[in-house]
Chains A and B, each alone.
Chain A
């Protein structure tokens, strides 16, 4: 009986891990209507959008090392 309960609990935990793995997906932007609406925006959100494309001085293009 004790073993059965342990097995059941483990099954629940493992199923949760399984589902988490299945749902880990990265959303991709798709071409379509570009209509953006937002009920209320903060100054930080506007600043984030305003500085999209800002390049930091130490940013580099990476192609991998040869050794």
Chain B
């Protein structure tokens, strides 16, 4: 009997001790996701960095469109209804149109990037869930290998453009750093712009230049660089926060792009099917947006009432 109580007590203690570990893991996952986006947005302060990130996002969406079309072909081959998947592909297309319409230099580009990426993740998730119910295990493996082997001209063009933007972006960063450190090395900058130098090689060059500096000079350079980095992080966090607040507003704006993307569908039957599915989805988005704007109006009203009461109290005092 004693042994049984001992055993039960032990199990309870073990279970209780695991709770905070699980909770901290969840917190960590959320933080990691935000961290990914933060790292991506960090480079969007410069025009070239913003162009690069928008192109990378467009490429990621294009990969899912190409893969998604493979899934749809398989589902149709199996004689099943792929309308919902077709509608999701049209939503991906709408996101692409929206990215192409963005001005990378616009203040809103970061906000749009965060929102479009979030939306693309949601659509990918939804697509995966629906496809899971429609595909056989064998189909999945075959499609996965077909997607991996995708050799598409459009993707090649994206890779080429992104590569060049990455080189230009890195050259810009190093050029600014060289200004702070008082280094002059145009040959190295040209090599970075051509993608002929690795991060480690640039690091070595900086280390060499720092050898000639006094401790005071080094500290001053580090402080300048660190402060500029922190300012960027704070600005990035503020932009991500703003993007989160405007997420539904953007969803409502996206309806125009959805209409444009639907109009581009060649096959009239497919177009009609997709239109009908999207109409239902759009009305859901509209309803949610309407509910939120109502809540915002109510919140404003409450805020105004509180201000009125406070003013009244101030007058009485």
- By a beta-carbon cutoff of 8 Å, the part of chain A in contact with chain B is 3, 7, 10-11, 14-15, 17-18, 20-22, 24-26, 28-29, 31, 34-38, 40-41, 43-47, 49-57, 59-67
**Which B residues touch A63, using CB under 8 A?**
57, 60-61, 64, 117, 120-121, 124
In contact, A36 and B60 (Cβ under 8 angstroms): no
By DSSP majority rule, is chain B's interface helix, strand, loop, or mixed? helix
Of B232-240, B254-262, B275-283, B297-305, which binds chain A?
Answer: B232-240
A3 and B23 contact, Cβ closer than 8 Å, known pairs A60-B56, A66-B64, A67-B131:
no
Closest partner residue, chain A, to B147 (CB atom): A67
**Which B residues touch A53, using CB under 8 A?**
42-43, 49, 169, 173, 232
Of A34, A50, A64, which contacts B125 at CB under 8 A?
A64
> Is B104 interfacial (CB 8 A cutoff)?
no
In contact, B31 and A67 (Cβ under 8 angstroms): no
A21 and B17 contact, Cβ closer than 8 Å, known pairs A46-B210, A46-B218, A63-B120:
yes
Of B8-16, B243-251, B286-294, B309-317, which binds chain A?
Answer: B8-16
A34 and B71 contact, Cβ closer than 8 Å, known pairs A11-B13, A40-B219, A64-B121:
no
* Smallest beta-carbon distance A36→chain B, Å: 5
For chain B, residues 26 to 76, give those with C-beta under 8 angstroms from any C-beta of chain A.
27-28, 31, 36, 40, 42-43, 49, 52-53, 56-57, 59-61, 64, 67-68, 71
By DSSP majority rule, is chain A's interface helix, strand, loop, or mixed? loop
In contact, B234 and A31 (Cβ under 8 angstroms): yes
In contact, A67 and B14 (Cβ under 8 angstroms): no
Of B10, B67, B68, B166, which contacts A59 at CB under 8 A?
B166
**Which A residues touch B174, using CB under 8 A?**
50-51, 54
In contact, B207 and A36 (Cβ under 8 angstroms): no
> Is B225 interfacial (CB 8 A cutoff)?
yes
The complex places the Cα of A61 from the Cα of B59 at a distance, in Å, of 9
**Which A residues touch B42, using CB under 8 A?**
52-53
The complex places the Cα of A13 from the Cα of B56 at a distance, in Å, of 47
> Is B4 interfacial (CB 8 A cutoff)?
no
Closest partner residue, chain A, to B14 (CB atom): A14
A-B contact pairs, 26 of them (CB 8 A): A3-B2, A11-B13, A21-B24, A22-B24, A26-B28, A34-B234, A38-B219, A41-B215, A43-B210, A43-B211, A46-B221, A47-B203, A47-B207, A50-B225, A51-B177, A53-B43, A54-B173, A55-B169, A59-B166, A61-B59, A61-B117, A63-B117, A63-B120, A66-B64, A66-B67, A66-B124
